[in-house]
């Protein structure tokens, strides 16, 4: 599934660097069966992977193959109102 944050749905059999998070100091990681949520030293939250139950906080149920910043969606929805 889309759980590794590498931009593809290929299975990863060993740990890999999530290149889109390079330069961001990650301090916390929580992983579910098909999704991952990371917190940065700056307090930002990044989520990626399966989202069939809305666990990524995107407001939908589409999987995210790259780390997604749920706050970006909130800011976009506020601008559209």
- Give the count of domains, the chain: 1
Inside any domain, residue 74: yes
Q: Does the residue 11 lie in any domain?
A: no
Quick: pLDDT tens for 48-66: 888 888 888 777 888 877 7
* Higher-pLDDT residue of 40, 64: 40
Query: Residue 1: inside a domain, yes or no?
Result: no
pLDDT score recorded for residue 54: 85
Whole-structure pTM value: 0.71
Instruction: Tell me the average pLDDT across 27-55.
Output: 87
| 38 domain-assigned | yes
Distance separating alpha carbons of residues 59 and 44, to the nearest angstrom: 18
Domain around 54: 19-80
Report the mean per-residue pLDDT for the chain: 76
Q: Is residue 8 part of a domain?
A: no
Q: How far apart (Å, rounded) are the C-alpha atoms in residues 26 and 45?
A: 9
Residue 64 burial (C-beta neighbours within 10 Å; 0-12, 13-18, 19+): buried
């Amino acid at each position: 599934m889309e759980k590794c944050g590498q931009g593809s749905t290929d299975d990863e059999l060993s740990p890999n660097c999530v290149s889109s998070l390079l330069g961001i100091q990650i301090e916390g990681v929580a992983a579910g069966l098909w999704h991952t949520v990371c917190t940065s030293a700056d307090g930002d939250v990044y989520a990626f992977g399966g989202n069939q139950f809305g666990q990524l906080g995107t407001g939908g149920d589409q999987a995210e193959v790259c780390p997604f910043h749920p706050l970006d969606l909130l800011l976009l929805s506020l601008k559209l109102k």
